[in-house]
Structure 1
Amino acid sequence: MSGKAGHRGWGWIRKRSSGRFQASYIGPDNVRHFAPTTFELKIDAEEWLTQERRAIQNAISSLTPVGSSGTQLIWLSPSERLDLATEVNRETLEQYGKRWIEQRNLKPRTKIHYNNLLEKHICPKLGNVVVSNLKPAMVRAWYAKTLTDKPTYRAHAYQLLHAICDTVIKDELLERNPCMIDGATSTKRTREPVVPDIAQMSVIAGKIEKKFKALVLISAWCGLRFGEVIELRRKDIGVGCEIITVARGVTHRSTDNPAERCVISSPKSGKGRTVVVPPHIRDDIAHHLDTYVSAEPDALLFVPVRGGCHVSDRVVRDAFRLSCASAGVTGMRLHDMRHFAGHQTARVANLPETMARLGHSTQTASLRYQGQVSGRAVEIADQLSALADTTGGRLVISKCD
């Protein structure tokens, strides 16, 4: 058509008294829909109609099944898309961040951690800022005054904000990431782990309360994280105590929500693993099972003394500190036993085998499982026991997360 309202191949174009062109069409909902603006050139109006028709055809070709009632057309009219874009463009960082966390497939404890960082450390300063208005200067000002005494949490908060802004860019609400501070995603270690020698580790295990001896041995010689070892159950210990299956970990938080105080999920790496137990500690584990663990498959290896879901880290920490003092080791923490395990394993295993045993995540799955596939896991466990028969000096510290 030209000049007047009329029918064309698909849709309508009408020249207004202003000389501009107005485009419209009848949608799948049998309602006439108009372009959100008029066009100076007729060819631009035609292009808009072409894009709209293509969007409808794509929607029709991607019909979504809905139970037994047929299919559902996922299509938004021009006015609905404009309303949605307007709503998104006005979304604050707090609103966007909460939706960002909710829409991701995160482990429960990770989701809790992210929400805590967002609500307590990001939103107080930046929460009311419209995401499309977020500027590098705002981020720098926020970073300069946030968690300055807690560098690890500070880095976590910055990493979360950076990740959220990456998605904002993909949503075409920002052209570049406003998180541009060099080195803000990393932290320097504020404390070096205290790693005993083998003889001292033996004393620590021997002096601790008997009910925690197996906990120390498993942590030190199998490399389990504290949250993994206190979630171990009878069913996770193989026949003859030769194998430990690490399928879960637990995280405890101080919160008003009872459902969030004890969170059990997959291990930190996201995947479980099987650890071959060094022969020299198998009898101690078997004794622990016979003495302290009930017969049910789901019975915890380490029972909380005063109720609760798991043994308290404070209770174990107090007992551990006393046994360390007996061995002449000061300043050692529970997690330092994992550093001990990492170094001992590295003495008898290659890098992929060490990563597999300790449950470290890598970008290459074949590297992670190489040692297990080759059958070296049993040999590594035997060699760890051989190390225990020596009295090596103080070990060089290695980082094991």
Structure 2
Amino acid sequence: MARESWGIIDKQRSGRYRARYTHQGERHTAPHTFDTKDAARTWLSRQRIAIADGTWVHPEEAKKRAETEAAEAARKQITVDEYAEQYIERRFNAGKLGGKTAYDYRLYWHGPRPKSKGQRATAGGRLHHFAGWPIGDIAYEDVCDWHDEQMESGALTQVTRCYEHLKTVMLDAEDRGLIDRNPCRIKDAKVATGKKRTPPTDAELPIVIDAMPLSLQPLVILAAAVGGRFGELTAFRKRDFTVEYDDDGAVECVRATVAKAITYVPKEGRSEKGPKTEAGNRQVPFFGHDALIFASHLSTIDDPDQLLFTDATGDAPLPHGSFTWHWIKARKAANRPDLQLHSLRHYHGSRYAQLSGASLAEVMARLGHVSVTAAMRYQHAGTRADELARRAAR
């Protein structure tokens, strides 16, 4: 043991040197040994200077800080797809993300899983390009290059959804301190999808309805009358409707209460849940010929808890595939091979806004929207340009 002008240096059996010093009545030892005595002296000198200028930190506290910094560095090395999975799981467990949406988000990264044991897995989703990247390594230029390449595929809808998901995940990482700034900052990123939904005309809709089986005609009528989504339509039970009559006993109105929706997640099956947002809970009245026909359909059902549209067993909700088989033939009869059932939601939104003179807020309430942007997508120009010009004439 050799005493220095300040501190102690010991030569170990291994030939290496240990440095120690005393401060505030407590002896402190260097966290490691040194190759040479001069290296040990240098370490002691640094500790003495730190004590003198007030920057000295207790070794235990310094150790905790180092461990925290190491853990933080390791946390920031998490890959972006791993963090996306944590984000999806966190949102799902908090009840802010539905099972179908969580499934779709995972497809963006990994693509669909094999349906059978012998089937090969796909190469991954559109965001698979970033899988394995440390979350802090993705730069703005990387996102731009990926976005430009994906847009060339022409799949504008999928690219837009994937980009918005990546942007949300990276924003969450920024909020939690994993990255300094969100790299998803493309100012001219396409936010509107390339697919345009053209609603049926008043002449086409009856052709589509008549071409459907009698058991499914009420579903199509309801879709056009209340603007419901397929999941909402197939969740309806008789108790969700109230029929109102006029003084002469004729059907005047049918009020639909939208409070549930059927969702389907592969390998998990169908389940009933609440609407996507609080605005989805709504009452939608409809009148006229649609109300008369639908009230007649309701009168054929005795059990108030009975689902209105079911599979072949009569106990489970109508599968989308079973409906689509008939829908394809019906839209072909109207010479509208592009027509989707969801287009009737656009039909209803446009008709309600144009013919009733409803305000944007009223249209949003009827369709169950919380954003103006979403509501505007369901309003189409229509064919009353002459009427509007006549109203504007001086």
TM-score (norm 2): 0.68
Deviations 1:68-124 (A, max 9, x none): xxxxxxxx9545523431320221112211112212232222222212212232553
Pairwise mapping of residues 148-163 of structure 1 onto structure 2 (< 5 A)?
Answer: 148-163=153-168
Q: In 2, distance between residues paired with 1:302 and 1:265?
A: 17
Pairwise mapping of residues 92-241 of structure 1 onto structure 2 (< 5 A)?
Answer: 92-104=79-91, 105=94, 106-120=97-111, 121=125, 124-146=128-150, 148-197=153-202, 199-240=203-244
- Which residue number in structure 2 is paired with residue 5 of structure 1? 22
- Which residue number in structure 1 is paired with residue 389 of structure 2? none
Q: In 2, distance between residues paired with 1:123 and 1:325?
A: 36
SS at match of 1:232: coil
- Which residue number in structure 1 is paired with residue 311 of structure 2? 304
1:201 Cα deviation after fit: 2.7
Q: In 1, distance between residues paired with 2:130 and 2:315?
A: 38
Q: Which of the numbers 270, 278, 281 marks the counterpart of 1:262?
A: 270
1:135 Cα deviation after fit: 2.1
- Which residue number in structure 1 is paired with residue 298 of structure 2? 289
RMSD of aligned alpha carbons: 3.8
Gaps of 5+ in 1: 23-37, 53-75, 368-392, 397-401
Gaps of 5+ in 2: 1-5, 8-20, 31-39, 112-124, 245-252, 376-381, 386-394
Q: In 2, distance between residues paired with 1:305 and 1:285?
A: 21
1:195 Cα deviation after fit: 2.5
Deviations 1:17-56 (A, max 9, x none): 522239xxxxxxxxxxxxxxx969743336999xx8xxxx
Q: In 2, distance between residues paired with 1:162 and 1:47?
A: 42
8 Å Cα contact 1:211/1:288 also seen in 2: no
Instruction: Tell whether 2:255 aligns with 1:247.
Output: no
1:170 Cα deviation after fit: 2.7
The code of the aligned residue for 1:268 comes to K
SS at match of 2:216: helix
Deviations 1:227-277 (A, max 9, x none): 211121222222547321111222335x3x2x1x42533323453111112
1:321 Cα deviation after fit: 4.2
Q: In 2, distance between residues paired with 1:327 and 1:159?
A: 36
8 Å Cα contact 1:228/1:248 also seen in 2: yes
SS at match of 1:21: helix
- Which residue number in structure 2 is paired with residue 362 of structure 1? 371
Q: State the identity as a percent.
A: 23
Moved more, 119-128 or 227-236: 119-128
- Which residue number in structure 2 is paired with residue 313 of structure 1? 320
Q: In 2, distance between residues paired with 1:311 and 1:144?
A: 40
The code of the aligned residue for 1:184 comes to A
Aligned residue-pair number: 320
Q: In 1, distance between residues paired with 2:359 and 2:165?
A: 34
SS at match of 1:5: strand
Q: In 2, distance between residues paired with 1:112 and 1:80?
A: 36
Q: In 2, distance between residues paired with 1:355 and 1:216?
A: 21
Higher relative contact order (CA 8 A, sep 6+): 1
- Which residue number in structure 2 is paired with residue 338 of structure 1? 345
8 Å Cα contact 1:233/1:301 also seen in 2: yes
TM-score (norm 1): 0.67
Q: In 2, distance between residues paired with 1:40 and 1:160?
A: 51
Rate the CA distance shift 1:47–1:218 in 2: closer, same or farther, 3 A: farther
Q: In 1, distance between residues paired with 2:149 and 2:216?
A: 42
Q: In 2, distance between residues paired with 1:210 and 1:330?
A: 21
Q: In 1, distance between residues paired with 2:372 and 2:24?
A: 58
The code of the aligned residue for 1:285 comes to F
